[in-house]
Amino acid sequence: MRNKLILLAAAGAGAMLSASAAQSAELHFIRCGDNGLDQDRKVIAEFEVKYPGNTVNMENLPWGTCQDKSLKLAAAGSPPSVSYMGSRTLKQLADNNLVVPVKISEEQQQSYQPGVLGTVSYRDQFWGFPRAFSTKGLFLNCDIFEEAGLACEAPKTWDEMYETAKIIKDKTGKAGVGLTGKDFDNTMHQFLNYLYSNGGQVIDPSTNEITLNSKNTLETLKFYGKLVDVSQDGPTAFERTQVRDLFNDNKVGMYIDGPWARSQHKEGINTIAAAIPAGPSGVSGTLLITDSLAVFKGSGHEDLAMEFARMMTTGDSQYELDRPEGWGLTPILKYEELGYEKPYYMDDPYWKVFIDPIPTGGPEPLFVDYKAMQTTINSMIQGIILKDDTAENLVSIAAEELEEFK
Amino acid sequence: MMDHYSLPHKIFLYVCVALFLGFILLPFFEMFMTSLRPLEHLFRSPYQFWSDDFSFKAYAQMWVTVPMLPRYIANSMFISLSVTALALTFIIPAAYAYARFDFKGKTLSLGIFLAVNMFSGAVLLIPLYKLLRTYGMLNTYFAMIVPGAAFLVPMGIWLLKSYLEKIPRELEEAAFMDGASRLYTLRRVVLPLAVPGLMVVGVAVFLSAYAQQFLFAITFNSVKEFMPLPAGILEFIGFQSVKWNQMMAASIIGILPVLVIFLFLQRYLVAGLTAGALKE
Amino acid sequence: MTHASGDTLALQGESRGPSQKQQARLNGLMRSQATFAWALIAPAALYLMLVVAWPLVETIRLSFTNANIGGEAYIGTANYEKLFSSRKFSQTISRTFYWMFLSVSLKIVLGLIGATLLNAAIPGRALFRMLVMPPWIVPVAIGCFGWLWLYNGHFGIISGVLQYVGILDGPFEFLAYKNSAFYSAVITDVWVGLPMVTIFLLAAMQGVPRDLYEAAYVDGASRWYRFRRITIPQILPVIITMSILSIIWTFNSFEIIWILTEGGPRSATTTLIIDTYKMAIANYKFGQGAARAVVVVTLLSVFSLVYLFALHQIKKRFEAV
């Protein structure tokens, strides 16, 4: 009932606002980080030409604070018009009536890579324009493999992965595999890569049922428990960029990272990227993450804001962001079908690693209280890393706790 | 003599002092060493105390990475000075009242003031946010100054009160009898005598304000131009990597002016404290 | 107090002979002093009412609601019921008190040692007194970034040196394990609070009349005896003041833990303040956060009163000996 009311209210507000959109408005746009500023300015200029009289006030904030600021502004009743948000926050934003559902045409829907729209869907609507897309792969430091007397070949299964890591640890004293365990988003992300490669799932998006308590999760968590013995010291103090620092320092044989990692790796070390090894109950998969441009409710010009967000996330604007000279992301659109001639990822074995597993990947689980969900999952992971409890107990406790946050 | 130490005793004392100061200064040493390392060297193990590629480059590059750095350094000082000024305007009259007069409700109201000491801004953030929003102070300097000063007023009243109590009241009474008004007496007789005490309180308030501006800044302000240094240096944290060497260099340079001033004020601080404050 | 000043006045009256008029003026002032005192206190009182008391009342109100980013509704005592039935929360309470006890004791003991060292008549002490100040002066957040590096097991100096001398046979991440993370956070908290305690105790030691020591010295009392029987009783009020201030600050210490560990791993460094902040600010559960804030304030008030009372008794006994 409450949901219905919200929808009605949203529709009503939308109708009223389209009338006012003709007048001049100043859009407040919040974005994160310094990368790609010029490209965004270009789109803003185009927008201001296309919709004369309207202006865009772009606020560029550091990564650590940008999303919190948008939420804070929304909670305080002065929401931004458009803001860069992790798609995992959309369910919470939608449930609290802070964002409006966005209209994505059939045609536009077809242009997305599979799985992308799943990260912004909830209650049969889209709650943001997918903006940045990433998948993950396993990176190998071939110098360490060589030092351990191994051929630099990626393990295909978890058993192979553990064996490889153990040989590295035994032969070189270095960490066979890098693990993240800090209470950070990417600790959960890394775990989900393994979970999805073992046929597991946290929540069923269609029924909203918690599906964490499964044999698949149990196997994954137990595998983590094994990996701790062949990983760097103290995974609970590490998040992904710190593991990468160790990798760059030739201290870690393998770790999971996104396609941008290539440009972050130190020159002179030999690396290869490969698909994430498959667990005993699944096939190699990946976590599909998107960030989105969300259109906030109550700015007074939601339709115009939606138009601006659409311009930002389509065509060249999106391509500039995705390509290696931009953020270096997994392509979010099927550019080859959109008339781009030989987009950056075509016929490139590196990009194949990140594009091939998309169909077998899974989204960041959507929860109303995603932060609490993240804390719960991370606590489960830390529990096995610190050998606090049995995998069985950790999984069932986590699954139980999650009920409250869906 | 009483103050004479035997040689072994002296050595023992110096060793203890070295250990004590070693503990105090270790993080600064580490910050300094970090600032000298090239970025790719920061994440190289095993730990190296020195290598040929150590340099002061970060001290030059940091102004380019974060162009607003001078502004952040100045903001930190400006905010702390404003907090101190604002807090003192509330502290001085109240402390004088508690030091000099007997009235109904004195103990109780003083107790309530002291109880405020127990609250930290961290537990009251949400209502404070609403309050600042209501008065349109969010994202202004006031967002950091107004709550910053409030939590320091009780401590200041307490410190200054015990100091003022040491000043002989005969002088004031003589002034009254000569026809001076109470406020005139406070301004012209009491305050000049209380200068060492005011220094102590001012320094304590300033240092607390300077040390603790992080939380209010990240919660109540998101305008870059108003950010104090501890929040400003977060800009060295990028999308994929942190420029730790520059961040540490910026921290060291940023705190240096205040550090130098207060290292030398320390003597007066100890003297001021010895002279009066805090002896009940 | 009024009585005492009356005496002083009488004395002055004899020497200077105030006129009737002056005496009347003084009496008038005496009578109006309550009004004047309140007028002096009023600005501070109003300010704190607005910035502290009102938010506190608002917090209490919020604690009976389910306030979050989407809105709020009255839900009675549900937040409190949930809190008190949670085992995690009671663990957080005992952890907070352990944290406070450990950190405050270390600050006082090390502060006494430091003040004694800085008070010793050795060449260089002026310099040493300066060098003790920095942790007090630098913003806590900045000092903590330095500690973050120190505790880094792979690239930090502590682990590096310990490996070099052979105490560790590989990197050790101080913030990765429950116990080491907790004690690391305690050490950093001590580091932040120690200079102030040391300086205040030093000032107090310097205020002890020298003739007390000289008399004891002539009587052949050892240094330790003089410290125990003269210094400690003389500076006891300051020790008490500093321990109370330390208790309050340590209890409320936020930035240190937040920057070092954010309360982890697995809540090993989650104190009440961290728990409150996480709930209210990081997770936007204002209602549940407010209930925690109310518990924090209540606990701290009760604890401080009990502690003050206990210390008062000890002080009395000390003075009686």
Task: Report chain C residues whose CB lies below 8 A from the CB of B44.
Answer: 155
Highest mean pLDDT (candidates A53-62, A139-148, B148-157, C244-253): A139-148
pLDDT value at residue B1: 56
CA of A77: which chain B residue's CA is closest? B133
Coil, strand or helix: which one is B243?
coil
pLDDT digits (tens, 9 = 90+) for A145-158: 999 999 999 999 99
Q: Mean of the pLDDT values across residues C40-55?
A: 92
| Cross-chain residue pair B273–C203, CB shorter than 8 Å | yes
Which of the residue ranges A314-318, A394-398, C9-13, C224-228 has the most confident prediction, judged by mean pLDDT? A394-398
Which chains neighbour C (Cβ–Cβ under 8 Å, 3 or more pairs)? Answer: A, B
**What's the CA gap between A274 and A139, in Å, rounded?**
6
* pLDDT on residue A7: 36
Of A103-107, A338-342, B19-23, B130-134, which one has max mean pLDDT?
B19-23
Instruction: Indicate whether A4 pLDDT > 60.
Output: no
Cβ–Cβ < 8 Å for C121, B192:
no
What's the confidence (pLDDT) of residue C182? Answer: 96
Asked if C111 and C135 count as a contact pair (C-beta separation under 8 A), the reply is no
pLDDT at A376 over 80: yes
Q: Which of A308-317, B82-91, B225-234 has the highest mean pLDDT?
A: B82-91
Pairing of strands A129-134, A252-257: unpaired
Minimal CA separation from A249 to chain B, in Å: 6
Which residues in chain C are closer than 8 Å to B46, comparing Cβ atoms? 160, 163-164
Question: Which pLDDT value is given to residue A96?
Answer: 86
Average pLDDT of chain C? 85
Residue B59 burial (C-beta neighbours within 10 Å; 0-12, 13-18, 19+): middle
- Other residues' Cβ atoms within 10 Å of the Cβ of residue A263: 11
Q: What is the mean pLDDT of residues C140-147?
A: 91
Please tell me if residue A249 touches chain C, with a CB cutoff of 8 Å. yes
- In this prediction, residue C9 has a pLDDT band, given cuts at 50, 70 and 90, of very low
Asked if the model's pLDDT at residue B54 lies above 60, the reply is yes
CB atoms within 10 A of CB C225: 12
Q: What is the pLDDT of residues C182-197, one digit of tens each?
A: 999 999 999 999 999 9
Instruction: Name which of A74, A236, A251 is nearest C154 (Cβ-Cβ).
Output: A251
Mean pLDDT value of segment B163-168: 81
Considering only alpha carbons, which residue of chain A is nearest residue B47? A249
A323-355 pLDDT, tens per residue?
888 888 999 999 999 888 889 998 899 999 999
Q: Do A63 and B237 touch (CB under 8 A)?
A: yes
Mean pLDDT value across chain B? 85
Asked if A73 is an interface residue toward chain C (Cβ–Cβ < 8 A), one would say no
Taking 80 as the threshold, does the pLDDT of residue B238 lie above it? no
- State mean pLDDT over B42-49: 79
Chain A residues inside the 8 Å CB shell of B240: 241, 260, 264
Whole-Å CA distances, A380 to A181, A221, A377, C114, C182:
10, 8, 5, 43, 20
Q: Which of A75, A249, A382 sits opposite C265 (nearest CB)?
A: A382
Q: How far is A72 from chain B (nearest CA, A)?
A: 9
Instruction: Please judge whether A71 and C69 are an interchain contact, meaning their C-beta atoms are less than 8 angstroms apart.
Output: yes
User: CB–CB of A354/A361 below 8 Å?
Assistant: no
pTM for the full model?
Answer: 0.87
Chain A neighbors of C174, CB-CB under 8 A: 237
pLDDT at A9: 37
Across A174-185, average pLDDT: 93
Three-class SS of chain A = CHHHHHHHHHHHHHHHHHHHCCCCCEEEEEEECCCCHHHHHHHHHHHHHHCCCCEEEEEEECCCCHHHHHHHHHHCCCCCCEEEEEHHHHHHHHHCCCECCECCCHHHHHHECCCCHHHHEECCEECCEEEEEECCEEEEEHHHHHHCCCCCCCCCEHHHHHHHHHHHHHHHCCEEECCCCCCCHHHHHHHHHHHHCCCCCCEECCCCEECCCCHHHHHHHHHHHHHHCCECCCHHHCCHHHHHHHHHCCCEEEEEECCCHHHHCCCCCCEEEECCCECCCCCCCCEEEEEEEEEECCCCCHHHHHHHHHHHCCHHHHHHHHCCCCCCCCCCECHHHHCCCCCCCCCCHHHHHHHCCHHHCEECCCCCCHHHHHHHHHHHHHHHHCCCCCHHHHHHHHHHHHCCCC
**Is the pLDDT higher at C224 or at C30?**
C224
Out of C68, C170, C178, whose CB is closest to A233? Answer: C170
Which of C69, C153, C264 shows the shortest C-beta gap to A74?
Answer: C69
C307 to C194, C303, C304, C313, C314: CA distances (angstroms): 21, 6, 5, 10, 11
pLDDT at C290 over 60: yes
**What is the per-residue pLDDT across C152-182, written as a single tens digit (0 to 9) for each?**
988 889 998 999 898 888 889 999 999 999 9
> Out of A197-201, B78-82, C130-134, which region has the weakest mean confidence (pLDDT)?
C130-134
Tens-digit pLDDT profile for residues B99-155: 888 888 888 888 888 778 777 777 788 888 888 888 888 889 999 999 989 989 988
Chain A partners of C69 at a C-beta cutoff of 8 Å?
Answer: 71, 74-75, 92, 96, 98
Is the pLDDT reported for residue A19 higher than 90? no
Strands A26-32 and A55-61: parallel
Which tokens in the block code for residue A157?
A: 């299964």
Q: How far B67 CA lies from chain C's nearest CA (Å)?
A: 19
Is pLDDT at C18 greater than 90 in this prediction?
A: no
Shortest alpha-carbon distance between residue C283 and chain A (Å) = 6
Arithmetic mean of pLDDT, C44-59: 91
Contact B269, C132 (CB under 8 A): no
Quickly state the pLDDT bin for A281 (edges 50, 70, 90). very high
CB of A57 within 8 Å of a chain B CB? The answer is: no
Tell me the C-alpha to C-alpha distance, in Å, between residue B65 and each of B233, B247, C172. Answer: 10, 10, 32
The angle subtended at Cα B91 by Cα C290 and Cα C35, nearest 5°, is 100
Distance in angstroms (rounded) separating the CA atoms of residues C126 and C133:
12
**How far is the C-alpha of B29 from the C-alpha of B48, rounded, in Å?**
14
Q: What is the pLDDT of residues B186-224, one digit of tens each?
A: 888 888 888 888 888 898 899 889 988 888 888 888 788
Inform me whether the pLDDT recorded for C10 exceeds 60.
Answer: no
Q: How far is Cα A70 from Cα A103, in angstroms, rounded to an integer? A: 21
pLDDT confidence tier of residue A1, bands split at 50, 70 and 90: very low
- CB-based contact C203 B27, cutoff 8 Å: no
pLDDT at A127: 94
CA angle B275, C198, C126 (to 5 degrees): 70
Q: Identify all chain A residues contacting C260, using CB atoms and an 8 Å cutoff.
A: none
Q: Which of A160-164, B29-33, B239-243, C88-92 has the weakest average pLDDT?
A: B239-243
Task: Give the mean pLDDT of chain A.
Answer: 89
Q: Is A142 exposed, middle or buried (0-12, 13-18, 19+ CB in 10 A)?
A: middle
Q: Which residues pair with C68 in a beta bridge?
A: C71
pLDDT band at B278 (very low <50, low <70, confident <90, very high): very low
Calculate mean pLDDT across residues B14-43. 91
CB-CB under 8 Å, A33 with B45: no
Query: Letter for the amino acid at A65?
Result: T
Per-residue pLDDT reduced to its tens digit, A207-248:
889 999 999 999 999 999 999 999 999 999 998 988 999 999
CB of A63 less than 8 A from some CB of B? yes
Task: Identify the band that residue B280 occupies on the pLDDT scale cut at 50, 70 and 90.
Answer: very low
**pLDDT-derived band at B240, boundaries 50, 70, 90:** low
CB atoms A236 and C262 under 8 Å = no
Q: Give A124: exposed, middle or buried? Use CB within 10 Å, 0-12, 13-18, 19+.
A: exposed
Q: How far is CA A317 from the centre of its chain?
A: 20
Pairing of strands A287-295, A362-363: parallel
What are residue A98's phi and psi, to 5 degrees?
-100, -20
- For C300-310, what is the mean pLDDT? 80
Q: Phi and psi at residue B242, in whole multiples of 5°?
A: -110, 130
- State the pLDDT confidence band at C318, using cuts at 50, 70 and 90: low
A238 contact C CB<8A: yes
In which band, very low, low, confident or very high, does the pLDDT at C11 lie, cut at 50, 70 and 90? very low
**Which residues lie across from A204 on neighbouring strands?**
A209
- This model of the complex carries an ipTM of 0.87
In the predicted structure, residue C283 carries a pLDDT above the cut 90: no
* SS3 sequence of chain C: CHHHHHHHHHHHHHHHCCCHHHHHHHHHHHHCHHHHHHHHHHHHHHHHHHHHHHHHHHHHHHCCECCECCECCECCCHHHHHHHCCHHHHHHHHHHHHHHHHHHHHHHHHHHHHHHHHHCCCCCHHHHHHHCCHHHHCCHHHHHHHHHHHCCCCCCHHHHHHHHCCCCCCCCCCCCCHHHHHHHHHHHHHHHHHHHHHHHHHHHHHHCCHHHHHHHHHCCCCHHHHHHHHHHHHHHHHHHHHHHHHHHHHHHCCHHHHHHCCCCCCCCCCCHHHHHHHHHHHCCCHHHHHHHHHHHHHHHHHHHHHHHHHHHHHHHHHHHC
